[in-house]
Amino acid sequence: MPTKKIHQESHKTKESRKDSKVKKATKAETSQIKALFLEHYKNAKTELKYRNDFELLIAVMLSAQCTDKRVNLITPALFEKYPTPQDLQDASLEEIKECIKTCSFFNNKAKNLQAMAKEVCEKFGGEIPLDREVLKTLPGVGQKTANVVLIESQAANFIAVDTHVFRVSHRLGLSYATTPIATEEDLTRVFKDNLATLHQAMVLFGRYVCKAVNPNCAECFLEPLCKSKTTYRC
Three-point CA angle 216, 219, 221, nearest 5°: 115
| Burial classification of residue 139, based on how many CB atoms lie within 10 Å of its CB (0-12 exposed, 13-18 middle, 19 or more buried) | middle
Q: CA-to-CA distance for 74 and 99, rounded, in angstroms?
A: 7
Cβ–Cβ < 8 Å for 228, 170? yes
Q: Read out DSSP for 91-140?
A: S-HHHHHHHTTTSTTHHHHHHHHHHHHHHHHHHHTT-----HHHHTTSTT
Catalytic residue among 97, 162, 227, 229: 162
The amino acid at 100: I
Active site residue 162: yes
Catalytic residue among 109, 118, 144, 186: 144
User: What gap in Å lies between CA 137 and CA 146, rounded to an integer?
Assistant: 10
By annotation, the residues acting in catalysis are 144, 162
